Amino acid sequence: PGTAANSGGVPGPAPGRFSGLALVLGAALLLHLPALRAPFFADDYLFLDQVRGRSLLATFAAPDPIGNFFRPVGRQLFFWLVSHAGGESPRVFHAVNLALWLLALALFHAVARRLAGPRGALIATGLLALHYAAVVPLRWASCAQDLLALVLGLAALRLYLADRRFAA
């Protein structure tokens, strides 16, 4: 429920409702900041080569450098957008992955809050946020495809639980 305590008398979230989540997200951010200094690794170079000097349409038309799965959003689109926006900087790729991780945690918290209540959601989100399994997707730019799948899947769950089935 909202309160009218904020400026202008407009209802907003109850004070402190998201302070626990903010603390968890801040801890996850601090824990994973060193990932911003990680270099590119393995498949990252293949995906960068695929998008370098090509238009987005030409990137989609080019064969997948690994050839094992068709993942146009997590590979071609992601690498084309981020490399063009960030000048092929590994720091930019890792920063985007970190932002995706934080978004995934916030969405996870929203789903868990609906299913387990505020305390259960905060505990579950805290455990996930500080778990070592996040190290690989945050230090390997190519894992953006996994983070994107996680974010989109959690967003679909959140929408479904909010009775927005068509959007989900």
What is the reported pLDDT for 158? 94
Asked whether 40 and 90 are in contact (CB, 8 A), the reply is: yes
Residue 57: predicted pLDDT: 83
What pLDDT score does 88 carry?
84
pTM of the model: 0.81
**CA separation for the pair 93, 89 (Å, rounded):** 7
For residue 4, what pLDDT is reported? 46
Q: Which amino acid makes up residue 145? A: Q
Query: Residues in the chain with pLDDT < 50?
Result: 1-7
pLDDT digits over 91-108, tens only? 998 999 999 999 999 999
Q: What's the residue count for the chain? A: 168
Per-residue pLDDT at 2: 47
Q: How far apart are the first and last CA of the chain?
A: 24
Where does residue 24 rank: exposed (0-12), middle (13-18), buried (19+ CB within 10 A)? buried
